[in-house]
Amino acid sequence: MRKSTVRIATFTAIIVLCLIFPSGITTAATSVSILPSSQAVEPEENFTLQVYIKPDTAIYGLQLDLTYDSSLVTINSIEEGDLFADSGSPIMFNPGKIDESAGTVSQIYSALIMGEGATNEGIFCTINLVAEPTEGICELRITNVVLGDNQGKELPATTLDSIISITDTVVTEEKNDKNKDDETELNIIPVQDDEQETQKNVNGEQMFASTPDQAENSVADKTIGQGSNNSKTSNWINIIFIAIAFFGIAYFLDRKK
C-alpha cells in the first residue's frame, strides 16, 4: 500500500512540474553587443564601435574575433574599455591582429591577473574606424566568443551584431530639412490680437480635452496590469487544485484495490 502511494505521489509531482514548467528551463547567458556611434555614416567619415558586455555572472576573462567588409570600412585602432576597471586587479589587454585583406580582427582579449571578476555592465573595447569612399551596407559580426570564470571554465554567451549604412544621403536629407525650416520661417504671418485670443482659447480647449484621454489610458494600463496579475494567480491556483484532485482520486482508487 505504501509503495503504491509513493508511486502515485511521485507521478503527481512530475505532472505538477510539467504544468509549471511547460517550456523547460532557460539558461541565462552574458550578452556581447556591438554598439555603433551611428547607424548611418558618410563616406570617409570617422566613427566608433563599442563592444558592450552585460554579465550574467562574474567574468574574469574575455576573448573574441570581429569580421567586417574591408571594402567599406577600415579599422584604425582598438582601445581597451572599462569593463574590468572596478576589479582592483592588473589587466592584460590585447587589441588583436587586424587583417585588412580578410576583413577580420582576431584574438581581441582581456583578462584579470588577480582580484574580483567583472559583474557590472561595461565596455570591453572601443574600435575606431573610417568609412571608405564606396557606399554600401557593412555588417560587423562578433565571432569565436570565449568567456571565462575564476576557474577558467567557459561561460555561456549571446551576441548581437551591427549593420552600418555608408551613404551621402544623410547630408542631403539634413540640407533638405534645413531648407524646409527656412521656408517655414519665411512664410510666418503675424496674427492679430483677436485671432491670438481665439487661438489661445482653441488651444486651451484642446489641452483640456486631451487630459481625460491620458487619464483613461493610465486607468486602462493599471486595469490591464491588475488583470495580468490576477490571471497569473488564477493559473497557480488552478494548477494546485488539479494536483490535489489528481492525488486524491489516485489515492482513493488505490485504497479500493
Q: What is the CATH number of the domain that holds 56?
A: 2.60.40.680
**What pLDDT, on the 0 to 100 scale, is given for residue 86?**
77
Residue burial 48-71, b: 16+ Cβ < 10 Å; e: rest = ebbbbbebbeebbbbbbbbbbbbe
d(CA 69, CA 148): 29
pLDDT (0 to 100) of residue 176:
56
Whether 128 has a pLDDT exceeding 80, the answer reads yes
162 found inside a domain: yes
Rg of the chain over all Cα atoms, to the nearest angstrom:
30
- HSE value, Cβ hemisphere, 13 Å, CA-based, for 207: 6
pLDDT reported for residue 83? 93
CA distance 173 to 171: 6
Task: Domain count for the chain, please give it.
Answer: 1
Look up the domain containing 57 and give its range.
Answer: 30-171
Q: Does residue 29 have a pLDDT over 80? A: yes
The pLDDT confidence band at residue 224, using thresholds 50, 70 and 90, is: very low
Most confident of 25-39, 60-74, 233-247: 60-74
Residue 15 within any structural domain of the chain:
no
Q: 251 in a domain, yes or no? A: no
Q: Rounded CA gap, 190 and 28, in Å?
A: 62
Evaluate whether residue 232 is within a structural domain: no
Percent of the chain whose pLDDT exceeds 70: 56
Predicted pLDDT of residue 73: 97
More confident residue, 231 or 122: 122
Q: How far apart (Å, rounded) are the C-alpha atoms in residues 6 and 3?
A: 5
Is residue 36 a part of any domain in this protein?
yes
Q: What percent of the chain has pLDDT over 90?
A: 46
Set of cell numbers at residue 1: 500500500
Instruction: For residue 21, give the amino acid letter.
Output: F
According to DSSP, the residues that pair with 191 across neighbouring strands are none
Answer yes or no: is 40 within a domain: yes
- Name the more confident of 98 and 230: 98
In a domain, 52, yes or no: yes
pLDDT at 87: 79
pLDDT value of position 75:
97
Burial of residue 138 (number of CB atoms within 10 Å: 0-12, 13-18, 19+): buried
Give the three cell numbers for residue 203.
488651444
Q: State the Cα–Cα distance between residues 50 and 37, nearest whole angstrom.
A: 8
Between 30 and 242, the higher pLDDT residue: 30
pLDDT tens digits, one per residue of 150-198: 888 999 999 999 999 999 875 545 555 555 555 544 444 444 455 444 4
| 217 part of a folded domain | no
pLDDT at 228: 44
pLDDT category of residue 14 using cuts at 50, 70 and 90:
low
Phi/psi at 151 (nearest 5 deg)? -105, 5
d(CA 162, CA 33): 8
Q: Mean pLDDT lowest for which of 55-64, 110-119, 128-137? A: 110-119
